[in-house]
Amino acid sequence: MGRRKGEPEKAPNHERWLITYSDLITLLMIFFVLMYTISNVNAKKFAQLSSSMSEALLGEKSGSFVGEAPGPMLVDTGQTAAGAKTEAASMEGALKELEKYIKEKGLEGKVEVGQEERGLVISLKEALLFRIGSADLTPEARNVVGDVGQVLAKMPNNIRIEGHTCNLPINTSRYPSNWELSTARATNVVRYLVTQVGLKPEMLSATGYGEFRPIVPNTSEQNRVKNRRVDIVVLKSLLNIAEPGKDNQVIIVE
């Protein structure tokens, strides 16, 4: 209906935008309240996960840790605090025994031993184990690998043998590349530990890295000598969950 004659025109309402603005503020407030609620719940869950990780890595209660595939989860490693302490003592004892052996046999520079996050690592240099371009163990190598194996036989841990070369290429009928050479060397060490020392084959694995895991840059012959090696890695039990054929309880935290 049109405006009557003589009726004064109403002034426009310039504050109508406040209605839309107040609706927007209300929706934003609801959104942030929901976000805060969700984050508060996740904080509690992740606090529990953090506690579980501390128990596993620091040995306070029981063995478990957090994984992220595809989301947060709790993985039971089956290792108790007492078990973790026993394993740490076993690793330390083996380290000291091997250091004493290296010193007594005058193997400094040929055999190195140390502890890493993944476990105990015994590094055997190529000059001790093999002739250049060969994967056959030398007589001296058999003695050293046998002695080291006797120390490792006392431990229940999985053992990974890792073959490494320098970056000098190889192309023979037997070893077309450093991949084949490094893998063959690792496999031969595994075979000797099983057949001559008596280590359980299910506890051993062999892998070859070729020239792609150097410990120093391959910029000189001195450095290349250091990179040509076989590492015997005594893996911590915590890493057993990554091994195939292991039964581990996985609890997904939603």
**What is the per-residue pLDDT for 25?**
84
pLDDT higher at 6 or 93: 93
The mean pLDDT of 59-63, rounded to a whole number, is 50
Confidence of residue 39 (pLDDT cuts 50, 70, 90): low
**What is the per-residue pLDDT for 50?**
60
Least confident of 17-26, 78-87, 152-161: 17-26
Distances (CA, A) of 203 to 50, 124, 242: 31, 20, 13
Name, in order, each residue with C-beta under 8 angstroms of 250's C-beta and a sequence gap of 6 or more: 67, 73, 74, 75, 76
CATH class of 81-242: alpha beta
pLDDT in tens, 96-143: 999 999 999 999 999 999 999 999 999 999 999 999 999 999 999 999
Distance CA 20, CA 44 (A): 37
Indicate yes or no: pTM above 0.75: no
Name, in order, each residue with C-beta under 8 angstroms of 190's C-beta and a sequence gap of 6 or more: 161, 201, 204, 205, 206
Which amino acid belongs to residue 32? F
Check pLDDT > 50 for residue 91.
yes
Q: What are the residue boundaries of the structural domains of the chain, listed by start?
A: 17-80, 81-242
Distance CA 190, CA 204 (A): 7
Strands 119-125 and 111-116: antiparallel
pLDDT in tens, 228-254: 999 999 999 988 766 666 554 433 333
Sign (positive/negative) of CA torsion 125, 226, 205, 179?
A: negative
**What is the per-residue pLDDT for 34?**
75
Query: Which pair of structure tokens corresponds to residue 24?
Result: 């927007």
The mean pLDDT of 203-231, rounded to a whole number, is 96
